[in-house]
Structure 1
Amino acid sequence: MAMVEKVIIVEGRTDKKKIQPIINEPVTIICTNGTVSLTKIDELIELYILEEKDVYILADADSAGDKLRNQFKRELPEAEHIYIDRAYREVATSPVNHLATVLTGANFDVNPEFLLK
């Protein structure tokens, strides 16, 4: 049986660039580029066949991130939400060791060097 593909949905390209080197396993990272409409979410679900994958939402700890999470909670309720510490506010500005820790907590295989930084 094939392994279920993992997908992480982030807000922007800087978030994607920040977490890509931390993750040590195949994963698709999708950028929403800010707030998205329900149509856009439906398109993402269809385009990436998200119902058949393990989907994780990694959004900023701010009002835009909360809004994005709420939209995905409605449209893709089975998605798992990964939260960064509110003190860091943005995924892109969070320390790599913090991101590695929260990703490990969500059962991602992370590059161990990032846990030590």
Structure 2
Amino acid sequence: AAQLRQGRSVTATARGVGLGARQLHRRSLAAFGYGPKTLARVLRLQRALALVREGTPYAEAAYAAGCTDQAHLAREMRELAGTTLGGYLSGTGYEGLAAKSETAQPSGSRTTA
């Protein structure tokens, strides 16, 4: 778990602890209730959320945590936590960090639909 928490791949982690991928998977299921890949996703999401709570912009937090981009982080958040980043932050006391869903004044664009 510590190696996955640092962002190492499942294959590298298994090799690093002297186990095969299947043995690591069985041990992960026994210890956490899901496989090492899911554990790696959960830990990556936790890294990203910690960075966002520190004030790091979403895209930068996503990249630093190991996501390919901000959209990847958004998908992981929805799949693992069942909510959006903004929705999560608005319920945790970090409302000021959540993206704004509406602007007080028009953005300056004169294009109409």
Is this a same-fold pair by TM over 0.5? no
Point out which structure has higher relative CO (alpha carbons under 8 A, 6+ apart). Answer: 1
User: Which protein shows a greater Rg?
Assistant: 2
When normalised by structure 1's length, the TM-score is: 0.28
